[in-house]
Structure 1
Amino acid sequence: MNANAATGIQVAVLDMAGTTVADNGLVEHAFTEAIGAQGIHSGEPRYDDMLQYVRATMGESKITVFRHLLDQDENAVRQANKAFETAYAMLVDDGYCRPIDGAEDTIRRLQDNGIKVCLTTGFSQTTQQRILTALGWRDLPDLTLCPAQAGRGRPHPDMVLKAVLELQADAMAAVAVAGDTAYDMTSGRRAGAGLVAGVLTGAHGKEQLEAAGATHVIESIRDLPGLLRDRKLEK
Structure 2
Amino acid sequence: MVTTELVVLDMAGTTVADDGLVERAFTAAIAAAGVSEEDERYGGMFDYVRETMGQSKITVFRALLGDEDLAQRANAEFEGSYGRLVAAGECKPIPGAEETIRGLREKGVRVALTTGFAPTTQRALLDALGWHDLADLALAPGDGVRGRPYPDLILAVALKLKVADVRNIAVVGDTPTDVRTGLAAGAGIVAGVLTGASNRADLEAAGATHVLDSVSALPAVLEGATQS
**TM-score, normalised by the number of residues in structure 1:** 0.94
Q: Does 1:135 align with 2:135?
A: no
Q: Does 1:204 align with 2:211?
A: no
Q: 2:48 aligns with which of 53, 56, 61?
A: 53
The C-alpha deviation readout for 1:72-121, integer Å capped at 9, x for no partner, is x1111111111101110110111001000001000001101100001000
Q: Is the 8 A contact 1:150 1:162 kept in 2?
A: no
5+ residue gaps, structure 1, are none
In structure 2, the residue matched to 1:40 is 35
5+ residue gaps, structure 2, are none
Q: Is the 8 A contact 2:10 2:113 kept in 1?
A: yes
Q: Does 1:70 align with 2:31?
A: no
Q: How far apart, CA to CA, are the structure 1 residues paired with 2:213 and 2:224? A: 15
Q: Does 1:173 align with 2:167?
A: yes
In structure 1, the residue matched to 2:187 is 193
User: Bigger CA drift: 193-202 or 34-43?
Assistant: 34-43
1:94-173 aligned within 5 A: 94-149=88-143, 151-173=145-167
Q: How far apart, CA to CA, are the structure 2 residues paired with 1:74 and 1:197? A: 34
The C-alpha deviation readout for 1:29-66, integer Å capped at 9, x for no partner, is 10011011222122332100000000000000000100
Q: How far apart, CA to CA, are the structure 2 residues paired with 1:68 and 1:228? A: 37
Structure 1 residue matching 2:153: 3-state secondary structure: helix
**Paired amino acid for 1:135:** L
Identity %: 54
Q: Is the 8 A contact 2:151 2:182 kept in 1?
A: yes
Q: Does 1:15 align with 2:4?
A: no
Structure 2 residue matching 1:148: 3-state secondary structure: coil
Structure 2 residue matching 1:147: 3-state secondary structure: coil
- How many residues align structurally? 228
Q: How far apart, CA to CA, are the structure 2 residues paired with 1:231 and 1:105? A: 20
Q: How far apart, CA to CA, are the structure 2 residues paired with 1:164 and 1:212? A: 23
